[in-house]
Structure 1
Amino acid sequence: MQPKARKAYVPGLAALLVVVVAGCSGGSGADGAATDAKPGGPTTATAAQPGKYRTLREPCGSVPRSTLKDLLPGAASLPEDQQAKVYEGTASVTYDTDRRVGCSWKATAPDASNQLVIDLERVVSYDPAVSDADRAQEVYAKKETAAGLPPSSASGTPSGTASASGSAADKGTGPGTGTGTGTTPQTGSADSPGAPSGPGSPSGTPSGTPSGTPSDGTTPDGLEPRVLDSLGDAAFLDDVLARAGAAAQRRTVSVVFRTSNVIVTVRYTEQSAHLAVVPDSEELQDKARRLAGKLNEQLNE
């Protein structure tokens, strides 16, 4: 009987040892998740949050007809069928309308020509450790730097809801003149529409300049290119005055803002038909900012 008892005891002891060894090598952490037994071993990374926006709105229908009439005064004198064509706009060529869309409008009047371009880009991060919104902020920051503006002190931090009626005279930080590098949105691989080319200069040209615009063509104080603190999560305004054609004055105001993982660019250009007339900076900035505010409201609907 003694040998039989010994045979029954040994297998039981072996089974007990197996359980103890398994418990020591495959233990769980405090939260119940399996842990790596080797110090410094790989851990499971938490994927960054996806962006708020998964698609983009149709751009040419995003600007109200009343706004287009205000931005493109030259269209009012056209026949009704031609007006309708101007207000329809021209969609930018893209290869993925869920990632980038754009539209442009242009109208010419006897005293000036105007062009409006909007561009919307939905940024996607392919790095699981970087969120779409953080990646969009990186793209936005490069645009801000290219415009010659210092990085926003609230970079990446929401700064409030945009106001469609915000004043164009908000103070900010930026260069003292409006002759810095302009921002030109690009959609897909297609070239962005060029600046409008107005009619030739007539023989009789006005001798004055629009109210609020210095005769030397610089941007008035308080209207310099600057960071905006009341539009989207981050925003800036650029104002560039240049001569086009036979020394005609052309001013381009660009408003660029980011809301989560979408970056929107509004570029509004006016080219005077008269050599001595400088397009009014305050008026163009106010119109561009109002439109940017409306587009931001649409994104938050």
Structure 2
Amino acid sequence: MRHKAYVPGVALLAALVVGCSAEGGGDAHGADGKPGGPVVSPAPPGRYLTLPAPCRAVPRPLLKDLLPGAAELPADQQEKVLRGAAAVTYDTDRKVGCSWKADAPSATRSLAVDFERVVSYDPAVSDDDRADAVYEKKEKAAGLSSPSAPQADVATATGAPADGGGGEGKGGSADPSPSTSTGRAPASGGPEDALPSRLLDNLGDAAFLQDLPKGPGSTAQNHTVSVVFRTSNVVVTVRYAEQPALITQRPDGRELQEKAQALARKLAETLSE
């Protein structure tokens, strides 16, 4: 009787080859880098990889205008005030800030600037989209919502009369007065009367202003204005406030708003350079 030849190891080798082929072949349409597989591109990164030095972000001439009390100080004290105080942070690539404060006989002015660089760790979500979510959270906390057409701050930014002054807005129509666009009664005309909190046009990718005069029943006449804007993956917050020396005095709300907006626009220009 003839016996079949048997070569040790051949059967095992054949089984291994078949097994590897089954595991390594994969799906012809799978994301394994082979031709025919889908190409998944990660979301694009944000424009900004670093943040500016916050205490040097505001030009000295502008800083002196925002803090008039500093000009009355001796040179060494003035330098200390204008140098500012850096905010405590554990990652200067992600979040930085600086604050300034100057006392004058009539009032105390304070300023704070914060920069936050947002990074998305989800490859399907871009840094810009993540930053937009951070910005929208701040906008919601301020009690504002985003309509289809953001409300322009023409009267404040240009110095136009509060009643619209016959100027032309988008589409050639006259700009609405504060009472029409915000639902608040027209200002009495005093310098302390300011437009209410609102969304802003032409500042970064999105922006709003929050006006915070003293609360009812408060004896302090402090007035704070915040301007928050987003440009790409960076969210910037400007807080500008005045505390009069006497409780009978009222801060000039319009001036605070105009100067806070002017600084925010300057910072946006600097970031875009």
- The TM-score, its normalising length taken from structure 2, stands at 0.74
Distance 1:140 1:154, change over 3 A: farther
1:78 & 1:245 partners in 2: Cα distance? 34
Q: Structure 1: which amino acid aligns with 2:196?
A: E
- State the number of aligned residues: 228
Partner residue in 2 for 1:141: 136
Measure how far apart 1:154 and its partner are: 6.0
Q: Percent identity at matched positions?
A: 56
What is the aligned counterpart of 1:122 among 80, 95, 117? 117
Contact 1:60 1:89 in 2 (8 A): yes
What is the aligned counterpart of 1:213 among 185, 189, 192? 192
What is the aligned counterpart of 1:238 among 210, 213, 216? 210
Distance 1:174 1:211, change over 3 A: closer
1:255 & 1:77 partners in 2: Cα distance? 28
Matches within 5 A, 1:146-157: 146-153=141-148
Contact 1:136 1:263 in 2 (8 A): yes
Query: Which residues of structure 2 form unaligned runs of 5+?
Result: 1-26, 161-174
Partner residue in 2 for 1:57: 52
1:122 & 1:175 partners in 2: Cα distance? 35
Task: Verify: 1:33 aligned to 2:35, yes or no.
Answer: yes
Distance 1:245 1:82, change over 3 A: farther
Deviation per residue, 1:134-174 (Å, 9 max, x gap)? 0000000010010011125369xxx9xxx9x9437797865
Measure how far apart 1:262 and its partner are: 0.2
2:42 & 2:120 partners in 1: Cα distance? 11
Contact 1:239 1:253 in 2 (8 A): yes
2:29 & 2:95 partners in 1: Cα distance? 49
1:154 & 1:129 partners in 2: Cα distance? 28
Q: Structure 2: which amino acid aligns with 1:235?
A: A
Partner residue in 1 for 2:253: 281
Distance 1:141 1:54, change over 3 A: same
1:140 & 1:93 partners in 2: Cα distance? 21
Q: Structure 1: which amino acid aligns with 2:158?
A: S
Query: Which residues of structure 1 form unaligned runs of 5+?
Result: 1-24, 36-42, 178-208
Distance 1:235 1:175, change over 3 A: farther
What is the aligned counterpart of 1:167 among 150, 158, 161? 158
What is the aligned counterpart of 1:296 among 257, 268, 272? 268
Partner residue in 2 for 1:107: 102
The secondary structure found in structure 1 opposite 2:98 is: strand
1:66 & 1:259 partners in 2: Cα distance? 24
Partner residue in 2 for 1:3: none
What is the aligned counterpart of 2:80 among 73, 76, 85? 85
Distance 1:176 1:211, change over 3 A: closer
Contact 1:257 1:265 in 2 (8 A): yes
Deviation per residue, 1:274-299 (Å, 9 max, x gap)? 22221111100010011001100110
Measure how far apart 1:112 and its partner are: 0.5
Q: Structure 1: which amino acid aligns with 2:191?
A: G
Measure how far apart 1:90 and its partner are: 0.4
Deviation per residue, 1:50-107 (Å, 9 max, x gap)? 0000000101011111111111111111110000000000000111111011000000
Q: Structure 2: which amino acid aligns with 1:120?
A: F
Measure how far apart 1:211 and its partner are: 3.6
1:247 & 1:174 partners in 2: Cα distance? 27
Partner residue in 1 for 2:127: 132
Q: Structure 1: which amino acid aligns with 2:121?
A: Y
Q: Structure 1: which amino acid aligns with 2:35?
A: A
1:109 & 1:243 partners in 2: Cα distance? 23
Higher relative contact order (CA 8 A, sep 6+): 1
Q: Structure 2: which amino acid aligns with 1:132?
A: D
